[in-house]
Every structure is written in structure tokens, then in C-alpha cells.
Structure 1
Amino acid sequence: MEDRPTATTVPKESRVNRPTAPLVLDPAGTDRHAEHRLLRAQGPAARVDVLGVTAWSVTDPVLLKKLLTSPDVSKDARAHWPEFEQAVQTWPLALWVAVNNMFTAYGADHRRLRRMVAPAFGARRVSLLRDTVEAIVTGLLDELAALPPGEAADLREQLAYPLPIAVIGHLLGLPEDRRGEFRSVVDGVFDTTLTPEQAAANAVRAYEILGQLIATKRAVPGDDMISLLIAARDEEGDGSALSDTELADTLFLMISAGYETTVNVIDQAVTALLTHPEQLGHVRAGRSSWSDVVEETLRHESAVKHLPMRFALADIHLPDGRTIAKGEAILASYAAANRHPDWHGPDADAFDVTRVTKDHLAFGHGVHFCLGAPLARLEVAAALEALFDRFPALELEVPADELVPVASLISNGHRTLPVRLGPSA
């Protein structure tokens, strides 16, 4: 059994006086940290309204780890969520539970689908990408250095976005002229302020682009992951290959997950270092590494705040006496769990690259742990080290409290990250 520190900042009585109605999560994520504190105050889990769907937001890290590894919890909405048919008609986040890929698969199907993709993100394959990642970073910093002196740069738009898109494009074989289209539809998937009609239209557009991509790669295959998956689909007849639907949905997962979260980690790491210069000082003095910065950023500002959805296959009894009933939805609230004072003590809200224990759930836990975690870590560390070496006088263009969060209860980043670069070293 895991040891659990007893330090907590939540008054005991606040765990008892819970609201009778579900807490409505802010679609725009305007004040995420206040919302996370409110959720934690309800105990290990809180009933929440996620754009009209009721779920249990789990913020206690011990409980969350248990549920993420429990055979009594599934991601297969079709099989295990009684509300599925209605939700896919009206819920803006329907695509998150309706796709057919390893993100929503359960049991043997999940193992089969993950096995098809895993080789692309193995340790050897990722290590071979290091030179490519560093070359892309250098090119992007060269473009920043070429800006007129004194002109503000938007590091989210000019570094955080193009780096992971270029890397995942290289890995998968995504043509450069199609990357802007995919970025647009993926942004729509993470935008939780869209109406159901807008979200549905965005999904239609996504699959139109995917269909065109698959047709192009099938006609003219290359030495890339997309072509390999298509070939496996077309050639294997033993039932282990991807179906047409699984192929499209798997490609969409790899493209979207391959860059959106990495964008946010770069964004949040730069923001944290520029607002906590003493932490940057630890790195420059050799007291901490860039890997420490990456891990503390993942803990302190998880790239994904809440990840929809999981479903109870049986009644789940919570430590405080309540029950998540069979068929009810479960929301993994990673960002709130990562700052839980029972896990990281009374200073859990502090950004501290010297923190001894930087454990987090930013990449998930259990069988659905993110396959792309090693690649994301490589990209973020490479970008940060090169950026701060190249522009040692880098500073924010606006106060940190004026940075506007992206319109999402899922994604955790800023709409823009304006900076003054200073002289290029």
C-alpha cells in the first residue's frame, strides 16, 4: 500500500459540506487553479457537470491511480456507458468517447491497438529522432533571431506549436502542406466552448482531411508510420490489423496527441521560468537540469487538466463512503491531482525545480499511459535548453497574470505567449 503524507490545506469540514448539485466545470477554463481547489475540497472525488454530462471528477492521486489500473473501469463508452447513444447526438465532446482507437479501447482490443502503434514511440526510435528534433529547434530559433530588434515574439505560435507539429509530421509522414489543416481541426477538438453543432462540423472536417490523407498515402506510400499502418491494414488478414475506422481514428489520435500536449508543456515551462527567475538560476548554476524543469512543469501545470472519460463497470466504493455507481462516468482530473497537498505537501502549488519528488500523472497511469511521453520529454527539454541559451535575456512582454488561457477545460496553455527575446547569443 502506498504511503500518504497527511499534510493538507483543505479544512476537514469542507470535505463534508458538499453541494447537492454537480459542480459545473468552466468550459473556458478561466480560473483553473481555483476550480481545482474547489474540486479537491469535495474529497477524493466530486460530482461535476462536464458540458451537460454528469461525471465524477477524481482528484485524489491515490484513488485516481487505483481507478486508472482497475479492471472495473473502462474507456469503452459504447459498451459501458448507458448515456452513450444520447451523448453522441448532443454532447460537444462526443468525439472524445466515440472514436475507435486505443484511447477508448478496453481489454484485448486496447492491447491489440496499442501494439500496432507502440513501435513508433519505442526508446530506440525516439533516440534516433534527437538530431531531427534539435535541427528543427535550431531552425525555429534562427527564425526568431531574424526578427527586427525589439519586436515582440509569440513563443506559442513561433516555437511551441511548430516544433511538435514538425516532429510528428516527420515521424508519421504528414505532408507539410496538410499540417495547418490538422492543426485547425485538432484545436477545435480541444476547444470546449464550441457548440454541439460547431463541434460536429469540426469532426466532419477532420475525417474529410483524414480520408484524403489515407487515400494519398495508399496511392503513394512512403517510409513513414502512416504508410506502415495502411499497409498493415491492407495486407494482414488475421483479424489483428486495424479496421478502416480504427485506422482513421488511430491516425487522428497520433496526430492530435502528438503535438497538442507538447505545445502546452513548452508554453507553461517558459512561462514558469520567466516568472520564477530564481528557478532558471538553479538550472544555469547546475543545481537542476532541464529534465528537472520538464518534470516539474508537467507536475505544476499538467498539459491536460481533465481527460474525458472513463466508466465504472461495477459499483466503486469511495474512501469517504460514497459510491460511483455502475455505468457512471469518471473524469480523470490530472492537474488537480498533481497539485494535491496529500501528495506534494503544503507547497504543492509552488513551482520548484529542486523539488526532490516531482511525481505526476500528466501522462496518465496504467495501461493507457501515454506512448508519446519519451518523445514529448525530448522535445520540451531540447526546446528549453536551446531557447534560453540562444536568448539569455528573454522576458515576458506582458505580466504573467495578463496571459489568457486557451478556451478549454481539457487543454492547459495560453492563447499567446508574447516575449521580448533580447540579444541573440
Structure 2
Amino acid sequence: MTTPATPAPPASSDRWHYLLDPTGGDIHGETAALREAGPAARVILPGGIPAWTVTDPDLIRRLLSHPKISKDAYQHWPAYINREIPDDWPLRIWVDVRNALTAYSAEHKRLRRPLAAAFSTRRVRALAPQITDVTRTLLDELAVTGPDDEVDLRARFAWRLPLQVVNLILGVPDEFHDDFRDSVGALFITTTSPEEGQAAIVRIYELIDKLIGYKRRNQADDITSQLIAAQYAGEISEKELADSFILLIGAGHETTVNAIDHAVVNLLTHPEQLALATSGAIGWTQVVEECLRHQAPVATVILRFAVEDVHDETTGLTFGRGDAIAINYAAAGRDPRVHGDSAGQFDITRPTTGKHLAFGHGAHLCVGAEIARIEIRTALEELFARFPNVSLAVDPDQLEPLPSIITNGHTRVPVVLGRTA
């Protein structure tokens, strides 16, 4: 196991830096160490980039709703503007893109508007029956496996369900599914070589260009066609069109995959709590919230920037103009001041299950939060109804975390399904 949050020599008497582990080997050990350093700590991101990481949930909320905290590196990150950030920085894709994820103020509202419309409450709830159908079809495919055979539930179920739902919303034809599945995950890995990182970026843009070309020829009532129409009308640029798909296919998909992954593992390793859920003693909605709290699907979101000096009176911290800021959602979900001394434990009965920031806060609150919750709830309820005897095929300590400071999941979740109900 890696050593969490290894302290580096201080850059000055009042600045203590932590070298974040790019392998994500012990995310929660690392966040505990960072929390000890205060509500926010100065860190070194993979690739040698200095930044703040914020662990205190109240400070996170204040910063995420602050009008002078931006996500636009093109305007508000001097190191980026002055070309001090290497072209092959492994996390660069997440500040290079021009979409609602990285926009600021009026630009953010312009780019978010068509996405918010696509994920409106009415549209999302109308998709619920289709999500159930997709889930049951995937479980039908799993049922072909022998009851004693090992299955990677992440690859065969947790990964495929959100991707098929995203593709349903986008109107992506079936023949594109496998290519997107194989390419998306690489964008989040923070241990790749510069060559591997660049190859992943080139590949995902090739697929997006292919999708846009297909949808230009095959218009339909879906978000892809709506975004293409917005680009034709001059409302968004060609780059903003392509980069909006990075957000929808990449960031939107990864969150739900990891949430299902960790939820299944947590419930299988806490059989008494799984029994409370399957018996109806605790509702699946509450189960989902505790899963999101205990294992934030996206551990750290990068990056935000101080438009000017931002002083937080509550903590006494000042974020200097141009400072890069990472938001540590993994730490926020386990803050003992919110959830007590048992904050690190998985407990679906706790009264504070819903007090988490897994989908963000403020203007950049995830537009897909509602549909993600429906997917996770449906996945868990249907999985354990179909396979009531499912069990992990390995010791929980043998599950390998994804090599990333951003995404929080496992490389594989091997299970034995047992007999169907």
C-alpha cells in the first residue's frame, strides 16, 4: 500500500506541500492526512503542478458558490496562460476542454443550458423504464454465466449500464459503444506516460468526430442532435461541441460506474446492511446516498482558480489570485464533524447519509445527478433481486483501486453470482 500524502520539504516557512499519490493507492488514508493539515492544504499534483486541495465541506461549499472562483484556465490561471504548464501534463485534458465543466460566469450558463434541458426532471424520469430495461438485459446476459463461475461485475455490469444510458440520451448507435467504453476510462488515469495520455486524447476526439459526422447525417430527438443544431446556429463553437461530449461521455459516465462499483462492494462486505436493504427495512434511496457519501465516485475534481485574492474569514485562509484549487470530495464525505467518529464506516442507517457533496455544489452542480441516482438505485435493486447469493470472489483487500487521484473505483470487481432468484 502506498504512503498517503507524503510531505515534501516546505517551499517556505509558511507553505507545507504534500505530494499526492498519482496511483490513488490509498485515497482515504491520504485525505485523512490532508484533513489534519487544515481545511485546505497546499499539494503537488501529478506532473509537479502546485495547487490547493480543499477537504473541509463547509469551505468547499463557500468556494464553489463564490463569484470569484473560476474554472476557466484560459482566463484565470496565469501558469497556464504563460505556458508554464507542460503540454504533456497528464491532467491537462481537464483544463484544455471548452465546455460547461471549465466555463465561468456567463459562458458557463451558455454552455450548461442545453445540457440542463437534456437532463431535466421530466426527461430523466421518463427514462426510468428504459433504464430498468437496460439493467435487466445486462443481468440476463450475466445469468448465462454458471453460478460458480467468476465474473468481473465492473466490466460486465457497472461499466456497461451507465454507458448504455448515456448513449441512449446522446443517441449513440450501438456500433460506437465498445469503442467509447475502451477509450473513456483512460482520460482519468494519472499514472499514464505522456505518450499514452496523448494517444488517449487523440482517440477520444477521433470517436467524437465520427459520432458528430454520423449524427449530422442522422438527426434525431436527442442531445447530440440538439448540440449540433446549436453549433449550426452559432450558439456554440466546433470545439465546444466536441468538448461537450468529453463532459457527457467521460465525466458523466465515470461517476455512475464508480458509484455502482463501490456500492456493490460495500453491500457485499456488510451483509447485515444488505439484508436491511433487500428486506425493505431501509429504502434503496437511502442506501444510494450512503454509498455516495462513503465512497465519493470522483475523489478529486480539478481545477478551479482564484480570479482575485479570495480571503475566507471563517478559516482565515487566503487563496491568492491565480492559485489553482482542487476540490477533495472523498474527504468531504467523511468529515467527522458532519458524520461523527464513525464517518469512515459504511452505515446505511446513519441519519446523515444525504449530507455529502458527491455531485458538487453551486453553479457546477452535476446536471446528471438525478439520472445517476436512478441508475444506481435501479442497478442495486435489480442486481440483488436477481442474484441474492452473489458474493465477492476475492478478499476485499485484494481489490485494486484505479490508478488515479480523480476517479475512485476498482480496476475489477470479481464476483461469483450464485443461482438466480
Q: Which of 240, 246, 249 lines up with 1:246 in the alignment?
A: 240
| Structure 1 residue 176 corresponds to structure 2 residue 170 | no
Deviation track 1:359-380 (CA, whole Å, cap 9, x = no partner) reads 1000000000000000000011
**Which amino acid is the alignment partner of residue 78 of structure 2?**
P
Aligned equivalents of 2:417, 2:166: Cα separation in 1: 27
Mapping of 1:109-128 within 5 angstroms?
109-128=107-126
Q: Is the contact between residue 264 and residue 380 of structure 2 (CA under 8 Å) also seen in structure 1?
A: yes
For structure 1, list consecutive stretches of 5 or more residues without a partner in the other structure.
Answer: 1-17
Deviation at 1:184, TM superposition (A): 2.5
Q: Is the contact between residue 119 and residue 371 of structure 2 (CA under 8 Å) also seen in structure 1?
A: yes
SS at match of 2:43: strand
Deviation at 1:313, TM superposition (A): 1.2
| Structure 1 residue 398 corresponds to structure 2 residue 394 | yes
| Structure 1 residue 370 corresponds to structure 2 residue 358 | no
| Structure 1 residue 40 corresponds to structure 2 residue 35 | yes
Deviation at 1:103, TM superposition (A): 0.2
Q: Which of 319, 325, 329 lines up with 2:324 in the alignment?
A: 329
SS at match of 1:129: helix
SS at match of 1:258: helix
TM-score, normalised relative to structure 1: 0.92
Deviation at 1:100, TM superposition (A): 0.4
Deviation track 1:401-424 (CA, whole Å, cap 9, x = no partner) reads 110001111111111101111110
**Which amino acid is the alignment partner of residue 389 of structure 1?**
A
Q: Is the contact between residue 101 and residue 250 of structure 1 (CA under 8 Å) also seen in structure 2?
A: yes
- 1:315 is matched with which residue? 309
- 1:90 is matched with which residue? 88
Q: Is the contact between residue 165 and residue 258 of structure 1 (CA under 8 Å) also seen in structure 2?
A: no
| Structure 1 residue 283 corresponds to structure 2 residue 277 | yes
Q: Is the contact between residue 88 and residue 98 of structure 1 (CA under 8 Å) also seen in structure 2?
A: no
Aligned equivalents of 2:310, 2:281: Cα separation in 1: 44
| Structure 1 residue 31 corresponds to structure 2 residue 26 | yes
**Which amino acid is the alignment partner of residue 76 of structure 2?**
H
Deviation at 1:21, TM superposition (A): 4.2
Aligned equivalents of 1:105, 1:58: Cα separation in 2: 20
Aligned equivalents of 2:253, 2:315: Cα separation in 1: 38
Q: Is the contact between residue 390 and residue 424 of structure 1 (CA under 8 Å) also seen in structure 2?
A: yes
SS at match of 2:257: helix
Aligned equivalents of 2:184, 2:16: Cα separation in 1: 32
Closer/same/farther in 2, CA of residues 19 and 280 from structure 1, 3 Å limit: farther
| Structure 1 residue 210 corresponds to structure 2 residue 204 | no
- 1:228 is matched with which residue? 226
Of residues 68-77 and 319-328 in structure 1, the stretch that sits farther from structure 2 once superposed is 319-328
Q: Is the contact between residue 114 and residue 226 of structure 2 (CA under 8 Å) also seen in structure 1?
A: no
Deviation track 1:15-70 (CA, whole Å, cap 9, x = no partner) reads xxx99541011111001111010010000001011111111000001111000000
Aligned equivalents of 1:346, 1:147: Cα separation in 2: 42
Deviation at 1:175, TM superposition (A): 1.6
Aligned equivalents of 2:127, 2:220: Cα separation in 1: 18
Aligned equivalents of 2:144, 2:38: Cα separation in 1: 52
Q: Which of 259, 271, 280 lines up with 2:253 in the alignment?
A: 259
TM-score, normalised relative to structure 2: 0.93
Percent of aligned positions that are identical:
48
Aligned equivalents of 2:18, 2:30: Cα separation in 1: 9
Q: Is the contact between residue 265 and residue 380 of structure 1 (CA under 8 Å) also seen in structure 2?
A: yes
**Which amino acid is the alignment partner of residue 275 of structure 1?**
T
Aligned equivalents of 2:343, 2:32: Cα separation in 1: 12
Deviation track 1:247-296 (CA, whole Å, cap 9, x = no partner) reads 01012211112311101000000000011111112213332111111100
SS at match of 2:305: strand
- 1:345 is matched with which residue? 340
- 1:6 is matched with which residue? none
Aligned residues: 404
Deviation at 1:201, TM superposition (A): 2.3
Q: Is the contact between residue 294 and residue 381 of structure 1 (CA under 8 Å) also seen in structure 2?
A: yes
SS at match of 1:89: coil
Aligned equivalents of 1:196, 1:79: Cα separation in 2: 25
Aligned equivalents of 1:182, 1:281: Cα separation in 2: 36
| Structure 1 residue 100 corresponds to structure 2 residue 94 | no
Q: Is the contact between residue 64 and residue 332 of structure 1 (CA under 8 Å) also seen in structure 2?
A: yes
- 1:423 is matched with which residue? 419
Q: Which of 296, 299, 308 lines up with 2:293 in the alignment?
A: 299
Q: Is the contact between residue 189 and residue 199 of structure 1 (CA under 8 Å) also seen in structure 2?
A: yes
**Which amino acid is the alignment partner of residue 359 of structure 2?**
F
Deviation track 1:109-133 (CA, whole Å, cap 9, x = no partner) reads 0011111211110111011111111
Q: Which of 137, 140, 150 lines up with 1:139 in the alignment?
A: 137
Mapping of 1:159-198 within 5 angstroms?
159-198=157-196
SS at match of 2:85: helix
Aligned equivalents of 1:422, 1:207: Cα separation in 2: 41
Aligned equivalents of 1:208, 1:153: Cα separation in 2: 31
Q: Is the contact between residue 186 and residue 256 of structure 1 (CA under 8 Å) also seen in structure 2?
A: yes
SS at match of 1:393: coil
Of residues 44-53 and 219-228 in structure 1, the stretch that sits farther from structure 2 once superposed is 219-228
Q: Is the contact between residue 88 and residue 198 of structure 2 (CA under 8 Å) also seen in structure 1?
A: no
Deviation at 1:178, TM superposition (A): 1.4
- 2:384 is matched with which residue? 388
| Structure 1 residue 61 corresponds to structure 2 residue 57 | yes
Q: Is the contact between residue 273 and residue 279 of structure 1 (CA under 8 Å) also seen in structure 2?
A: yes
Following TM superposition, where does structure 1 have runs of at least 4 consecutive aligned residues deviating by more than 4 angstroms?
18-21
Q: Which of 332, 356, 361 lines up with 1:360 in the alignment?
A: 356
